Amino acid sequence: MDYWEQSRVALTPEWVNGWYLNPDLTAVARAGGRLSEALSFAPETCVRNRPSVLTRLRLVCGTRTLIRPILAQDAAALATGMQRLSQQSRVQRFHHHKSGLSEKELRHLTDCDGVNHIAFGVALIDRHGHELDGVAVAHCFRLKTNPLLAEVAIVVLDEWQARGLGSVLIRVLAAQAWEAGIRRWQAYYYSDNVGVKKLLAGVGAKAREGLVGGGTVEAFYDLYPPRSRSGGS
């Protein structure tokens, strides 16, 4: 059974008019009250060695979005997105002032195999499904020293924060991480970053945390099995 087939079995979808419904994501939509639609569909073809679950979401305001795996050709969009982040958001993501992403960093962030490096992005789409703009991205990198552990990071453009996108994005990432055999996430964040703490608490139980310097916390979260995750906004 290949990776995509494993993902399909794990989702155990319900078919609705040619779409299949991911129960975890609909629970998020109902509980959060900010997402009016949480539908997933399987494409006819998939990128080898990459998860091919796509998730379409419609915000209450009517904005259509798509969550999909990050690909090599997304490097330019990631570089542009970095420039659009506020200084505060950059520091929260990278833990220091950063002006941009180097070519080496962009290759690292877009070299995703769906197993050791899993990454998804959120794009705004039109009514035909064409992508218009990228607004969020989340990654997890499996540690070579511990195949059950992966370092996780998420960032949402400032103007799209607090709209529920991060909550759904982190759940998509966690579901794929679980299917890849990852059971614990390692995260670094500032102690006053309430938003990321809430996101991580929605997909896992905090095992331990501790300060590592400069106000940065290192925390470990044991991922919940996909069916037992609590809904969040």
Residues 6+ apart with CB under 8 A from 207: 184, 220, 221, 222
Tokens coding 205:
């139980």
Q: State residue 53's pLDDT score.
A: 58
Each residue's pLDDT tens digit in the chain (233 positions)? 222 222 332 333 332 222 333 444 433 333 333 333 333 333 322 223 344 456 777 776 778 888 989 999 999 999 999 888 888 888 778 776 777 888 999 999 999 999 999 999 999 988 888 889 999 999 999 999 999 999 999 999 989 888 888 988 999 999 999 999 999 999 999 988 999 999 999 999 999 999 988 889 999 999 999 865 554 43
Q: State residue 223's pLDDT score.
A: 97
pTM strictly above 0.85: no
Q: State residue 229's pLDDT score.
A: 57
Cβ–Cβ < 8 Å for 74, 121 = yes
Cβ–Cβ < 8 Å for 179, 6 = yes
